[in-house]
C-alpha cells in the first residue's frame, strides 16, 4: 500500500502545473492560450516575463527534487523504492498532469530537479552545459536537447565506473522524453524559424 501511495505522491507532485497556476493566480492569464501553449518555463518566460519564468522554472525543478526525497518522510521511510523511480514518475506527471487535462511541459526542468535530488555533480554539469549552449545557440530547445545528450554521456561513463544502472536508465528516459517533446522545435530548427532568446 505504501508503494502505491508513494508513487501516487510522486505523480501528483510532478503534475503541479506551475506555469498555469502562476499565470492564472498572479497575471490572470492562461499561458496555454499564448505563445507555444506549453506550460513550461520557456513559454512562461515568453508570455509572463523573466520573474515569472524564473519562478516557474524553479518550481518545476523543485517538484522533481521533492519526488526523489519522498522516502525521507516518516510514513514512507520503510518503503523500498529507488528515488530515481519516483523521479521518473514525477516527470511523467509533469508531461501529463492530472491538474491540467494531461497536457504539460517538456520534461526539462523537472528532469533536472530529479538529477539535483540524486546526483549534484551531474546537476551542476547539465546546468553549466545548458547556459553555455544557450549562450552559443540562443535557443532554449536546442540547448535542452544538447544537455540531454551531455547528461546521458555522463550517466554512461558513471555506469561503467559505479554500476549505477538506475541512473543510466533514468537519464536515458529523460533524454528520450526531451527529444520526443521537442519534435516541433526540431522541425523549426531545421527550417531556421526557431525563436531565439534576446536576454543572453
Q: What is the pLDDT of residue 25?
A: 93
List pLDDT tens digits, range 176-186.
999 999 999 99
Query: Does residue 183 form part of some domain?
Result: yes
Is residue 80 scored above 70 in pLDDT?
yes
Whether the predicted pLDDT of 52 surpasses 70? yes
Cα Dmax for the chain: 52
Neighbours of 173 (CB within 10 A): 18
Say if 197 falls within a structural domain: no
Predicted local distance difference test score (pLDDT) of residue 200: 67
- Tell me the mean pLDDT in the region 52-66: 96
Residue 66 lies in a domain: yes
The residues, ordered by sequence, that sit 6+ positions from 17 with a Cβ below 8 Å of its Cβ are 39, 97, 99, 100, 104
| pLDDT at 199 exceeding the cut of 80 | no
Asked if residue 184 is part of any domain, the answer here is: yes
Q: What is the mean pLDDT of the chain?
A: 94
Domain range enclosing 37? 2-191
Q: Which cell goes with 28? A: 490572470
The answer as to whether 63 is a domain residue is yes
Q: For 130-160, how does the pLDDT look when each residue is reduced to its tens digit (9 = 90+)? A: 999 999 999 999 999 999 999 999 999 999 9
Residue 89 inside a domain? The answer is yes
Q: Structurally, how many domains does the chain consist of?
A: 1
5-50: pLDDT as tens digits:
999 999 999 999 999 999 999 999 999 988 888 888 889 988 998 8
Model confidence at 100, pLDDT cuts 50, 70, 90, reads very high
Asked whether residue 196 is domain-assigned, the answer is no
Residue range 86-90: average pLDDT? Answer: 97
198 belongs to a structural domain: no
Most confident region among 73-77, 121-125, 195-199 by mean pLDDT: 121-125
Three-class DSSP labels, the chain: CHHHHHHHHHHHHHHCCHHHHHHHHHHCCCHHHCCCCCCCHHHHHHHHCHHHHHHHHHHHHHHHHHHHCHHHCHHHCCCCCCHHHHHHHHHHHHHCCHHHCCCCCCCHHHHHHHHHHHCHHHHHHHHHHHHHHHHHHCCHHHHHHHHHHHHHHHHHHHHHHHCCHHHHHHHHHHHHHHHHHCHHHHHHHHHCCCCCCCCC
Amino acid at each position: 500500500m505504501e508503494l502505491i501511495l508513494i508513487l501516487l505522491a510522486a505523480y501528483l507532485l510532478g503534475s503541479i502545473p506551475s506555469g498555469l497556476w502562476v499565470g492564472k493566480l498572479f497575471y490572470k492569464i492562461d499561458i496555454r492560450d499564448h505563445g507555444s501553449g506549453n506550460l513550461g518555463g520557456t513559454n512562461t518566460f515568453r508570455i509572463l516575463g523573466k520573474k515569472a519564468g524564473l519562478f516557474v522554472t524553479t518550481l518545476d525543478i523543485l517538484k522533481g527534487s521533492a519526488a526523489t526525497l519522498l522516502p525521507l518522510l516518516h510514513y514512507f521511510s520503510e518503503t523500498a523504492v529507488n528515488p530515481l523511480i519516483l523521479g521518473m514518475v514525477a516527470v511523467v506527471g509533469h508531461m501529463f498532469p492530472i491538474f491540467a487535462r494531461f497536457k504539460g511541459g517538456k520534461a526539462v526542468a523537472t528532469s533536472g530537479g530529479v538529477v539535483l535530488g540524486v546526483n549534484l555533480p551531474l546537476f551542476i554539469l547539465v546546468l553549466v552545459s545548458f547556459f553555455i549552449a544557450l549562450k552559443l545557440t540562443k535557443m532554449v530547445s536546442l540547448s535542452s536537447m544538447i544537455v540531454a545528450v551531455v547528461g546521458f554521456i555522463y550517466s554512461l561513463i558513471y555506469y561503467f565506473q559505479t554500476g549505477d544502472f538506475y541512473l543510466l536508465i533514468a537519464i536515458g528516459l529523460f533524454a528520450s522524453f526531451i527529444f520526443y517533446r521537442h519534435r516541433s522545435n526540431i522541425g523549426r530548427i531545421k527550417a531556421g524559424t526557431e525563436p531565439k532568446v534576446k536576454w543572453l
